[in-house]
Amino acid sequence: MRIGIDARLNAYRQGGIAQYTRLLLTAMAPLVGDDTLIALQHRRQPQPLTVARNVGRALLFTPPHNRFEPLALPVELLPQRLDLLHCPDFVAPRLRPCPAVVTIHDLAFLRFPAILDADARRYYSQVRASAHAAQAIIAVSESTRADIIELLGLPPERVDVVYEAAAPHFRPATVGAGEQININGCALRAGGFALFVSTIEPRKNLETLLRALRVCLDRRPQVGYRLAIAGVRGWLDGPVFDLIRELRLADHLDFLGWPQPRELIWLYSACQIYLNPSLYEGFGLPVLEALACGAPAVVADTSSLPEVAGDAARLLPPRDVAAWAATIADLWADEGARGDLARRGPAQAARFSWERAARETLAIYRRLGR
């Protein structure tokens, strides 16, 4: 088979779906046998995503999420003579020369429609029709599969679960006691901060952590609690900064922007606690990255996060400020409890691998190609 992988988004982004596409393509390359994978890349990214004997590349003009994409992309696909098309970015073109597999990472836009601007609303409005027209749907967790069945009305047998994984370079780093690092002008000391990793947007629920941090500071100001926030500003983030001013937290926060990969590994490995109070995640990849690096983790008990974290993290209701404050204070002071979570994390993360994801994805391709 000649299998096209839509990788145009990789020319515009690095994390999230772009990372999923790159890591899956790389993991499938040595397993694909006599089939051929074609990375469908945008022309602004001429360098190959992966180099392997049975991985080809086609450079396309049509940008991802473009309003003319439904017509322009099928025209560009025709000369590729594909037997199968995999669209990792939620939507496959309705007009296409071959069967399609679509990966749906989450349905946050249906659970929380206010998160979409006009352009995003136009793009994601295609997801329902695309899912019903696709020959196979991949969900990245059982939670997302359940949402697809419920919210999109797909029969259960149409939806396969293929878990993501942390990138292989996420593993515990050797960090000395009191070791320091400077990231984007913020000086951080190992063991001196809790860590939040995400774009700042309503669904990520940073407000709960801010309120819990204020409780901890008021109860035990001598401890010196700090929260490092690794992520950029997103949509509807104004209330977060209003709350920071209201709670007088500016001197207790470090805004790092997006760290470099080696810096992020250091942050996961050196943090006192990793915190993820998200209201909804299709998979929750930062949780798995944190566990892989041995970070003592506290995560919300919602959507896919219990699947990812297993028994390697503390699970809390995402809006229960009192529970988050109590758990932060308890873990901050309890080296033994932190050590227990740190030992469990890498073992839990090892249950997920890109090789397994590649084998399961290839099995779906071959089922359709029979």
Return d(Cα 146, Cα 323) in angstroms, integer: 28
Q: Which helix (H) or strand (E) holds 160?
A: strand 159-161
φ and ψ of 315, to 5 deg: -110, 130
- Are residues 16 and 123 both part of a single domain? yes
Closest CA to 105 of 204, 26, 19: 19
For residue 14, the model assigns a pLDDT of 78
Spell out a b/e string for 51-69, using b for 16 or more CB atoms within 10 Å of the CB, else e. Answer: eeeebebbebebbbbeeeb
Spell out a b/e string for 292-320, using b for 16 or more CB atoms within 10 Å of the CB, else e. Answer: bbbbbbbbbebbbbbbbbeebbbbbebeb
- Are residues 141 and 262 both part of a single domain? no
Closest CA to 362 of 35, 112, 54: 35
- Are residues 210 and 325 both part of a single domain? yes
- Are residues 221 and 135 both part of a single domain? no
60 lies in some domain: yes
- Are residues 22 and 51 both part of a single domain? yes
Closest CA to 101 of 168, 171, 28: 28
170 lies in some domain: no
Domain hosting 11: range is: 2-165+353-369
271 lies in some domain: yes
Q: Which residues pair with residue 228 across a beta bridge?
A: 195, 254
- Are residues 19 and 160 both part of a single domain? yes
- Are residues 22 and 161 both part of a single domain? yes
Residues of the chain with pLDDT under 50: none
Beta strands in 206-316 (DSSP E): 227-230, 253-257, 273-276, 297-300, 313-316
Return d(Cα 325, Cα 256) in angstroms, integer: 23
- Are residues 254 and 332 both part of a single domain? yes
Q: Is the dihedral of CA 239, 245, 247, 251 positive or negative?
A: positive
- Are residues 104 and 134 both part of a single domain? yes
- Are residues 157 and 199 both part of a single domain? no
224 lies in some domain: yes
Return d(Cα 84, Cα 98) in angstroms, integer: 5
Closest CA to 104 of 154, 129, 139: 139
CATH number at residue 278: 3.40.50.2000
51 lies in some domain: yes
305 lies in some domain: yes
- Are residues 199 and 238 both part of a single domain? yes
Q: Which helix (H) or strand (E) holds 5?
A: strand 2-6
Return d(Cα 368, Cα 84) in angstroms, integer: 8
Query: 173: left (phi > 0), else alpha (psi -120 to 50), else beta?
Result: beta
Three-state secondary structure string covering 82-125? CCEEEECCCCCCCCCCCCEEEEECCCHHHHCHHHCCHHHHHHHC
175 lies in some domain: no
Q: What is the CA radius of gyration of the chain?
A: 21
Segment 193-245, tens digit of pLDDT: 999 998 888 889 999 999 999 999 999 999 999 999 998 877 777 888 999 99
Return d(Cα 18, Cα 11) in angstroms, integer: 8
- Are residues 149 and 190 both part of a single domain? no
Q: Which residues pair with residue 308 across a beta bridge?
A: none
8 lies in some domain: yes
For residue 370, the model assigns a pLDDT of 66
Instruction: Indicate the number of domains in the chain.
Output: 2
For residue 228, the model assigns a pLDDT of 97
